Amino acid sequence: DGGITQSPKYLFRKEGQNVTLSCEQNLNHDAMYWYRQDPGQGLRLIYYSQIVNDFQKGDIAEGYSVSREKKESFPLTVTSAQKNPTAFYLCASSRWGGDQPQHFGDGTRLSIL
């Protein structure tokens, strides 16, 4: 079945560490997205990518970095510069152009030790 796979489901980070969240899709979608969700708040866009080797900052990109070397993969690195990284992170993908539904992964919950 086609879909989006995020790993790991739970991740713990020590102060000062960078961590990378994985997102893989086999839907042949051009566009991929990373969102952050905090309790009681709506999803906020961190980064998105329309095409391989290109990505754009979203609304809350500070302290995060991404790469898009392959169409299927869009890993997110939470750097030590992100002062409040504890959150639920969701990856999504869609076709690009017009109104397209987004397909979501099951998310990664990141906590600080």
Partner 1 sequence: KNEVEQSPQNLTAQEGEFITINCSYSVGISALHWLQQHPGGGIVSLFMLSSGKKKHGRLIATINIQEKHSSLHITASHPRDSAVYICAVPAAGNKLTFGGGTRVLVKP
CB 23 within 8 A of CB 34: yes
Binds partner 1 (CB under 8 A): choice among 11, 27, 45, 60: 45
The nearer residue to partner 1, 5 or 81, going by C-beta atoms, is 5
Q: Which stretch binds partner 1 (CB under 8 A): 13-21, 66-74, 76-84, 87-95?
A: 87-95
Q: Residue 92 Cβ, how far from partner 1 at the closest point, in Å?
A: 8
Site for partner 1 in 1-30 (CB under 8 A): none
Q: Which amino acid is at 82?
A: Q
Binds partner 1 (CB under 8 A): choice among 61, 63, 75, 109: 109
Determine the Cα–Cα distance for residues 3 and 25; give it in Å rounded to an integer: 6
Q: Is 81 exposed, middle or buried (0-12, 13-18, 19+ CB in 10 A)?
A: exposed
In the block, residue with structure tokens 């079945």: 1
- The 8-class DSSP code of residue 41 comes to S
* Residues within the interface to partner 1 (CB under 8 A): 31, 33, 40-45, 48, 50, 58, 88, 90, 92, 94, 96-97, 99-107, 109
